[in-house]
Amino acid sequence: MFGGSAFSPEQRAGVYEAIRKRRDARVFLPDPLPEEGLARLLHAAHHGPSVGYMQPWNFIVIRSAEVKTQIKALFLRARQVEAGDFTGERHNLYTSLKLEGIVEAPINLCVTCDPTRFGPVGLGHHFAPEAPFYSTCCAVQNLWLAARAEGIGVGWVSILEREELQRILQLPSPITPVAYLCLGYVPEFVQRPVLEEVGWAPRLPLAALVYEERWEGEQTEALRHALQHEVQTCGCQKGRANDATREKS
């Protein structure tokens, strides 16, 4: 048992459940989101950690069909360009994937970052000028997990040309769009990431990603066993029997 400030077992289970069962959503039901629910998600995002406590984020709530249609057109153009990065079967798989739910989702949300919120310098920025952007991603993840707990789907759409997005949303410099999200109720939260399910990429084995003391530093026996035990007992291995085959092919 870790320190005395730990949550109760039920509370902890809830946190881990939100983490494991969070999915990127691309299919949405038309049902509107209650404003109180949306407010809770925005509040969760606003409690994210931020470098120098600068809270560099803003949230642009998009409901209008007109704006969504413009963004969708942007997505279609960007997807066509990105599809050119792939050839053969990979290209076919890419073009068959549904990678957004912009028009169907009742709410679109652009989370922006103002890297100069408290002026040109800030605590923790000197050696990490990108830290405001990391902070904004932390806010997004808070929202994503809170949404899962609320039964609300969130899909992140990054296949958008940044300057065009800035123009459509009238973002002044240096406000940067970090995340364009689709939010709404969903028919289901699939068990595994869709990109894992269709064979785009496997979940990498955790043990291969953990080093000690230095890059590629070997794990201690104790950590190795603990990682193995955690992965085997967490319940998130279900349905992964085919992965070994897929990784080989």
Ligand X SMILES: Cc1cc2nc3c(=O)[nH]c(=O)nc-3n(C[C@H](O)[C@H](O)[C@H](O)COP(=O)(O)O)c2cc1C
> Is residue 146 close enough to count as binding ligand X by CB under 6 A?
no
> Is residue 99 close enough to count as binding ligand X by CB under 6 A?
yes
Q: How many CB atoms lie within 10 A of CB 212?
A: 11
> Which residue lies nearer to ligand X by CB, 100 or 114?
100
> Is residue 24 close enough to count as binding ligand X by CB under 6 A?
yes
> Which residue lies nearer to ligand X by CB, 25 or 122?
25
Strands (E), the chain: 57-62, 107-113, 152-156, 176-185
| Paired tokens of 204 | 């990498």
Region binding ligand X by CB under 6 A among candidate stretches 10-18, 20-28, 39-47, 210-218: 20-28
| Paired tokens of 15 | 């946190």
Q: Tell me the one-letter amino acid at 30.
A: P
> Is residue 159 close enough to count as binding ligand X by CB under 6 A?
yes
At its nearest, how many Å lie between ligand X and the CB of residue 196? 7
Distance CA 14, CA 125 (A): 34
> Which residue lies nearer to ligand X by CB, 23 or 125?
23
C-alpha torsion sign, points 101, 102, 105, 110: positive
Distance CA 110, CA 133 (A): 14
> Is residue 72 close enough to count as binding ligand X by CB under 6 A?
no
Which among 208, 203, 207, 209 is positioned nearest to 240, based on CA atoms? 203
> Which residue lies nearer to ligand X by CB, 122 or 155?
155
* Among the listed residues 52, 106, 124, 193, the single contact to ligand X using CB under 6 A: 193
Chain residues binding ligand X by CB under 6 A are 23-24, 26, 99-100, 156-159, 193, 195
